[in-house]
Amino acid sequence: MSENIKKIQHVTAKTVILSEGKYLLVQEPDGRWEFPGGKIEFGDTAEETLRRELQEELGLKDDLKIGKILNSWTWVFKFDRVHLQFFMLAYACVTTQKEFNLSKEHTEYGWFGSEEALKLNLTEGTRKTLETLD
């Protein structure tokens, strides 16, 4: 039975942008908030992914400074014939840009202090990362 289960792994990179004590979060169409970023395409580096994703999702201009990895997490979704594993890397990043033009991928963005952010409906990885930063 287990040989019929397709296993798919995705590696993603997320930005943890902190400015004036507030984190930049984006809201998914399902209402959950998360750090901006996305899937690392074959052949791309995490840094290339972060630049591409923030340009696509937020209209970020080219002033993103990418620092060290702050946290990583993984989780598995199990369906009848497919198991999806996501492995995410959260990078400390800096930008001078404070206002953004959202793509259709997200419904809203906002700057939140840690305490305020932890009260939001967050993705699991975003919550875990914020808790490690506190």
Q: Give me the pLDDT at residue 1, please.
A: 44
pTM (two decimals): 0.89
Q: Which amino acid is at 61?
A: K
Q: Give me the pLDDT at residue 66, please.
A: 96
- Number of domains into which the chain is organized: 1
Query: What mean pLDDT value characterizes the chain?
Result: 92
pLDDT band at 77 (very low <50, low <70, confident <90, very high): confident
Q: Give me the pLDDT at residue 90, please.
A: 95
In tens, the pLDDT along 38-67 reads: 999 999 999 999 999 999 999 998 789 999
Q: Which domain holds residue 76?
A: 2-133
CATH number of the structural domain spanning residue 44:
3.90.79.10
Alpha-carbon span 134 to 123, nearest angstrom: 17
Burial of 14 (0-12, 13-18, 19+ CB in 10 A): buried
In tens, the pLDDT along 3-29 reads: 688 999 999 999 999 999 999 999 999
